[in-house]
């Protein structure tokens, strides 16, 4: 059973997002970005209440901007997803999770050392240039189950 319900167009959308956000970090970096997308859909807490689809997660607007930089800048659609990214997206939608993104709801590239918190949420680790943050204990139990 997959972690979340998805369609072929969801696979392509996650694949394009993974590529746009983390292509330079290789397949593992792209998997971690994809995992954050799935975690946000599963979470239904904090800033991510009421998200019901992959589309909702990727095109979520917070504070007047899209949540993901690739959508803000428009480069999420710079190329169609290649088969390798589609395979990675399918893995993350079906089952893949690993540290430091295992329970992460946020990531970013600070262009400096990772801060110990991000919007009050604890740092869980870094992979290449991206810092990952998961919710504080007892604020989002569903992300730990999904």
How do residues 37-69 score in pLDDT, each as one tens digit? Answer: 999 999 999 999 999 999 999 999 999 999 998
State the DSSP H helix or E strand holding residue 9, giving kind and residue range, or none if neither: helix 8-22
Element (H, E) at 56: helix 54-58
Q: Which domain holds residue 37?
A: 8-144
- Confidence band (pLDDT; 50, 70, 90) for 77? low
Q: Detail the DSSP E strand segments found in the chain.
A: 61-62, 65-66, 106-108, 117-118, 121-127, 130-133
Average pLDDT of span 27-34: 98
Is 1 within the bounds of a domain?
A: no
37 three-state secondary structure: helix
Looking at the DSSP bridge assignments, the partners of residue 118 are 121
Q: What is the pTM (predicted TM-score) of this model? A: 0.96
**Residue 3 forms part of a structural domain:** no
> Residue 92 sits in a domain of what CATH number?
1.10.10.2520
Structural domains of the chain, count:
1
104 neighbors 43 (Cβ within 8 angstroms): no
The tens digit of pLDDT for each residue in 102-128 reads 999 999 999 999 999 998 999 999 999
- pLDDT value at 137 more than 90: no
Q: Is residue 133 part of a domain?
A: yes
Mean predicted confidence (pLDDT) in 132-141: 92
């Amino acid at each position: 059973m997959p972690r979340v319900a998805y369609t072929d167009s969801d696979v392509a959308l996650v694949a394009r997002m993974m590529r746009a956000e983390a292509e330079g970090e290789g397949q593992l970096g792209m998997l971690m970005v994809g995992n954050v997308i799935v975690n946000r859909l599963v979470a239904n807490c904090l800033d991510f209440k009421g998200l019901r689809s992959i589309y909702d997660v990727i095109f979520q607007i917070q504070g007047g901007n899209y949540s993901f930089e690739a959508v803000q800048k428009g480069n999420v659609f710079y190329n169609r997803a290649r088969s390798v990214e589609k395979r990675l997206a399918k893995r993350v939608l079906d089952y893949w999770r690993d540290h430091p993104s295992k329970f992460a709801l946020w990531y970013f590239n600070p262009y400096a050392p990772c801060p110990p918190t991000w919007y009050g949420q604890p740092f869980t680790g870094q992979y290449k240039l991206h810092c990952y943050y998961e919710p504080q204990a007892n604020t989002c139990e569903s992300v730990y189950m999904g």
